[in-house]
Amino acid sequence: MDSIPADPPVGEAAALLGRARRVVVLTGAGMSAESGVPTFRDALTGLWQRYDAQALATPEAFRADPELVWGWYEWRRHAVRQAVPNPGHRAVATIQTRIPGTVLVTQNVDDLHERAGSPDPVHLHGSLFAPRCSACSRPAPVPDGTDGEPADGRRVPPPRCAHCAAPVRPGVVWFGEALPPVALEAAVEAASACDLLLTIGTSGLVYPAAEIPQVAARLGATVVQVNPEETPLDRIAEVNLRGPAATVLPALVDAAWGDGPTG
């Protein structure tokens, strides 16, 4: 078990959380790291190493080689299906129960927050479980994964749209694509009205998601960060909890409400 960061920051963050009335939780790939879901930059393990995530996660890559890109997302969806929510995901769900109206905004395309009991997270970058037609945008069925484990690096021909026969694409937001307006508006609105924003496991490098904590700070909210590493968000965070989410978040919830490690 990683050591829990020195008490004072956790205690200070717990006092801030206990007093907060309007909370936003923003999560990035670090939230799911301890569930075994590689963060975006490490998502290229094994055979995928020869590719650059940012090059694969683009409409151009899908147009150029739909089987390679669809195969990568099938492999990632398969990895998410094998994963289980970690105590950090459950601690976030506890915060939402303890502070009604808490808005959970995630950059992650997995479904681990939902499976940990968080009600309808705002998915800024879409979801691995919402494929749609690349032409008419009609939702397409999620492959049930019965065609065996998509081997790492294997090309998989994308299914065809039942309506117009165009290739089905992953329901995620690629680099160079606009974020879903409804999700982005909901996130900005919540960040503008909150009194505390808890940012967890995000490098704060990808825009416009990286704007969300900055909007909150500019409008007077307190920002608390959970990340084992330093990020550009350090400068706006009132408290930096230097540690892994699955250890720090249960400690934070325990310190705030004495719920015991996973709430």
> Residue numbers of the site for ligand BV8 (CB under 6 A)?
28-30, 33-34, 39-41, 57, 107, 109, 125, 172-178, 201-203, 205-207, 209, 226-229, 231, 244-245
Contact between 218 and Zn ion (CB under 5 A)? Answer: no
Residues 6 or more apart whose CB falls under 8 angstroms from that of 148 comprise none
Residue 263's binding partner, choosing from ligand BV8, Zn ion, none, with beta-carbon cut-off 5 to 8 A by kind?
A: none
Residue 57: CB minimum distance to ligand BV8, A: 4
Active site residue 89: no
Least distance from Zn ion to the Cβ atom of residue 157, Å = 16
Question: Mask of contacts with Zn ion, 134-153, x by CB under 5 A?
Answer: -xx-----------------
Q: Is 158 strand, coil or helix?
A: coil
The residues facing 198 across adjacent strands are 25, 224
Structure tokens at 120: 């309808």
Binds 39: which of ligand BV8, Zn ion, none (CB < 5-8 Å by kind): ligand BV8
| Angle between helix 87-98 and helix 245-257 axes, rounded to 10 deg | 30
Which residue, 59 or 261, has its beta carbon nearer to Zn ion?
59
Minimum CB–partner distance for residue 171 and Zn ion (Å): 13
* Residue type at 9 in one-letter notation: P
- Gap between the Cα atoms of 223 and 154, Å rounded: 42
Out of 89, 113, 123, 125, the active site residue is 125
* Inter-axis angle of helices 245-257 and 7-19, nearest 10: 60
| Segment interacting with Zn ion (CB under 5 A) among 83-91, 143-151, 163-171, 183-191 | 163-171
Amino acid (1-letter code) at residue 176: G
Q: Which helix (H) or strand (E) holds 195?
A: none
Q: Which of 15, 164, 205, 219 binds Zn ion (CB under 5 A)?
A: 164
Q: Measured between alpha carbons, how far is 171 from 126 in angstroms, rounded to an integer? A: 6
Tokens of 53: 């995530």
Q: Which does 173 bind (CB under 5 to 8 A by kind): Zn ion, ligand BV8, none?
A: ligand BV8
Q: Which residues pair with 167 in a beta bridge?
A: 160
Q: Which stretch binds Zn ion (CB under 5 A): 7-15, 129-137, 206-214, 245-253?
A: 129-137
Give yes or no for residue 162 binding Zn ion (CB under 5 A): no
HSE, CB side, 13 Å, CA atoms: give it for residue 185: 3
Contact of 248 with 92, CB cutoff 8 Å = no
232 binds, options Zn ion, ligand BV8, none, Cβ within 5 to 8 A by partner type: none
Residue 51 or 175 having the CB closest to ligand BV8 = 175
Separation of alpha carbons 89 and 228, rounded Å:
16
Residue 177 interacting partner from Zn ion, ligand BV8, none (CB closer than 5 to 8 Å by kind): ligand BV8
Footprint of Zn ion (CB under 5 A):
133, 135-136, 161, 163-164, 166
Active site residues: 125
